[in-house]
Amino acid sequence: MGDYLLYRVKFIHLPKTRAFGLFAAVFSVTIWAVFILSTRFAVKSNFTVEEVLILRLVPAAVFLAPLMLQLGVIPHGQPWHRAAILMIGASAFSPFLISKGLSYANASDGGALAPGMLPFWTALAAYIITREVPNKWRRIGLAMILFGGLMVSLWQVLVEANEGAWKGHILFLAGSGCWAVYSVVFRQSGLSPMQGLVIGLFWGTLIFIPLLLISGNVRFTDANLSEITVMIVLQGFIIGILAMILFNYAVHLLGAAEAAAFGALTPILALLGGIILLEETVAPLTFLGILLVAGGVFLASGFIKEVKLE
């Protein structure tokens, strides 16, 4: 009960209106697109992937240290393999795979194959783990996501439009798949969103920071203090903490299906940001594939079924 009250206190001064729920949903998925775009820019300019992950984990972990002490960092009552997934799956391992993929492939590809493919992998993981079968509309959406993802990836492989992009595509799919498994395990764990956040941050920081330092790719020699500060704010606080809190609040006000439907904006925003801000070139078939993924995400969220029931 204490943990539940503590979680409720986090939103006590936020407006409890549908309008704010819509704002929270839109803002959270916009932040996910910012993660894709800012990480692509960072790893192609002055930062290594390892440096980006350190700037994501350490400041957020220090900031949330008081909550770690209050909520605890041990996922009690979980089998060891599920506990391991809760401890490192979402905070470090999945972001590392996606960030590494962005060092090989465009942000527009990342938007389609990482957050865009997430509903497909989540449905597959849910079926394997819990035997949950999606309804008709969700199955159509999942098929659209899969076909759109194939259009994004296979086209570039076949025409060799971006040499080495296939490595990024594999890493995007792996990172998205790991996040999907985490999502299913977290849903069954009984943990609150804030408990999941602090557990992941604590163990992700404790386990991955030494490994990242040992890699020899953490020097910060190409980045100045202002660039490092901007990355800390973006990766550690806005992406690592704020996006998750806002999305959880959107679910609280709008319901899971309607909030999840806004996830269809992420591939579109990543596509537009890649073209406008990063000057990426997108082939027509890739563009169509990204739109197909976005439409599939909307259908796979289950939003249509919920509207009919209302």
Q: Where are the alpha helices (DSSP H) in 44-164?
A: 49-63, 65-71, 80-88, 94-101, 107-113, 118-130, 136-159
Q: Per-domain residue ranges for the chain?
A: 18-309
Range from 77-81, 256-260, 263-267 carrying the lowest mean pLDDT: 256-260
Asked whether the predicted pLDDT for residue 4 surpasses 50, the reply is no
Residues composing the chain:
310
Residues 6+ apart with CB under 8 A from 244: 28, 193, 197
Q: How large is the average pLDDT for residues 37-48? A: 91
Give residue 257's pLDDT: 56
CA 14 to chain centroid, in Å, comes to 24
What percent of the chain shows pLDDT beyond 90? 20
Give residue 241's pLDDT: 82
47 or 185: whose pLDDT is higher? 47
Task: Please list the helix, strand and coil fractions of the chain in percent, rounded to the nearest 5, in that order.
Answer: 80, 0, 20
| 99-118 pLDDT, tens digit each | 999 999 889 888 888 888 88
Distance (Å, rounded) from C-alpha 289 to C-alpha 113?
Answer: 10
- Look at residues 98, 103, 45 and name the one whose alpha carbon lies nearest to residue 231: 45
Highest mean pLDDT range out of 36-50, 234-248, 291-305? Answer: 36-50
Residues 6+ apart with CB under 8 A from 257: 301, 302, 303, 305, 306
Asked whether the predicted pLDDT for residue 258 surpasses 80, the reply is no
- The chain-wide mean pLDDT, for the chain, equals 81
Asked whether the predicted pLDDT for residue 272 surpasses 50, the reply is yes
